[in-house]
Structures are given as structure tokens and as C-alpha cells.
Amino acid sequence: MKSAEHAIKGNWASLLLPIEADDSIEFSKLGAEIDILIDAKVDGIYSNGTAGEFHNQTEEEFDRIQLMLAERCRKAGMPFVIGACQPDPTIMLNRVRRAATLGPAAIQVILPDWWPLTDEEAIDYLNRASGIANGIPLILYNPPHAKRVLSPKELGAILAETPGVIGVKLADGDSTWYAESREHLPGVALFVPGHHLATGIREGVAAGAFSNVACLSPRGAQRWTDLMQTDMDAAIETEQRICKFMDQHIVPFRQKSGYSNAALDKLLCAIGNWGPVGTRLRFPYRWIGEDEAQRLRAVAEQELTDIMI
């Protein structure tokens, strides 16, 4: 059983890449974004999730992004997690090695993704990554689009053999999923989708979220997360409005138009209009126009007044 005390919990804001018209990363804007997230007093900042476009950057860019995040967060006393995710196992292990030297609170990894791993292969891989991390704990990222999406029972069996993995970022489910998670994943820090965080905490399962709500508003997401500790009923009511907004105005861009999750998260950021990020993704991925962000900003300000701060 993992430790029931989660050092990494709450509302974690994603570091999004400001992409210029020539497909370059605008690092001055990235630095400004980090400073804004620090000033918002989120529980932590994480890099290189899906919305951080980890799958579409060079190793030199990877190193520069992580160093900038680490230096600014250490100076401010802000916890940070580095995503070393990469579908290629060799590249990912090398990212883990370099990330560990920067002293993050944890390192996020995925399972190698060209061919799905068996349980035994997953255990071997995670234990090797943990050894390379040199004492830095790992968080496994197992999203719905992974080649192999692990059930709570499967995760429990794998994590029982991988003591260096302290948490999992994953999609939640219905009441049966929550019951299975309580049974098979006791003490594991589970990070549910941001817009389901209140439900996850109420169910006694979630430690926090690497949050799409923080993409919309870092300050608003933090205030909502804090509310869960004092008035869960109010937090659930807020969650219902967030989910309605997502279902009606954000998810259709993926379901009907085929945009990626990263495109949706950058759209949320542009709707919130809190930092110099923009909606552009790196080639070959399509992004959603700024005009849609402007249109939906008015909707969000009306429907989510307590988040849009």
C-alpha cells in the first residue's frame, strides 16, 4: 500500500507553450506565464502534460523549458512537477534522468506507447524509471487515449510492485469506478480531471488534479479547490456548472470537429485571458481560433463568475 499522506495534492496548473507563427516556442512569454501562475498561488505547476505538447518538442527545448520552470519555482518556493513523458521509452528515460537533477516534487511518466506493455513489462519499465529518478517519486499518466487504459484493479496490481510510483493521473468514471478505486488503490494519490475534482475528493479518491480548470483560470481553480475544504456542497454546485460549460461549449470541438485535447486546453486558457499563451499548437496539429475564445469568454463570465477571476 502506498502512503496515505499525499505530498502532492490539490490544484496543479499546466504550463502551456506559447507557439509563434514560425512554430518556435516564445520563451519570454513562457517565463511570464510561469510568473503569473506563481502569483496566482496555485498549489503547484506542472510541465509537459498533453497540453504542454511534450510529444512535439526537441530535447534541447525540453531541457530549456524544465530549467526555466525549476529556476523560477525554486526562487518563489512554488512546488513543481516535471513531465518526462515521451512515447519512446529510451527518450523518456533520458528525460527522467535529466529532470531528476532539477529537484522536482515528482516526475510524470507515461507507459511507452507504440506497442502496449504487458503488466510485467510495465512493472519493469516503471521500476527502471524510478531507479533513474534517484529518489524523486513518479506519477504515472494513463489518459483515456493511451494504447492501454488500465482499470483500477490492473493499476493496483502494477503499483503494488512499483514502490517509486506514488500517484496516477487518469480519467475517473461512474460510482462503480470510484468503488473499485477505493478497493484497489488505497493510499495512491489519484489525480482526476480538473472539472471532476470536487466529486473525486467527496468520494475519498482524488488527491488533486492536473487541472483543465486551471487552464481556464488559475486563480478561480485555486479558489474552487480551497472551497472543497470548507463547503463541499457549494463546490459540487460549482462543478456542475463547470461540467455544463465544458459539455456544451468545449467538448464539441473535439467530438464534432476533431480537435485535440491540447487544443481544448489552450482554448480554455484563451477564454480565461490570463496569460500570453494563445491558442496556436505546433504543426501538424490544428488549433481553435482566437475568435472562438472571445465569443466564449462572455459565456464563461456569465455562467462561471466565481471561476473567471
Alpha-carbon distance of 130 to 134, in angstroms, equals: 7
CA of 42: how far to CAs of 78, 131, 187, 277, 292, in Å?
Answer: 8, 30, 23, 18, 27
Q: How far apart are the first and last CA of the chain?
A: 39
Active site residue 141: yes
Q: Which residues contact 179 (CB under 8 A, 6 or more apart)?
A: none
Q: Is 147 a catalytic residue?
A: no
189 and 139 Cβ atoms separated by less than 8 Å: yes
Whether the CB-CB separation of 292 and 266 falls below 8 Å is answered with no
For residue 41, what is its C-alpha cell? 498561488
Q: Which H/E stretch holds residue 45?
A: strand 44-46
In angstroms, the CA 37 to CA 274 distance is: 9
- Active-site hit among 9, 29, 46, 141: 141
CA 57 to chain centre: 17
CA distances from 69 to 64, 268, 289 (A): 9, 21, 27
d(Cα 154, Cα 119) in Å, to the nearest integer? Answer: 8
Amino acid at 190: L
Which residue out of 2, 29, 169, 266 is catalytically annotated? Answer: 169
Q: Which residues are catalytic?
A: 141, 169
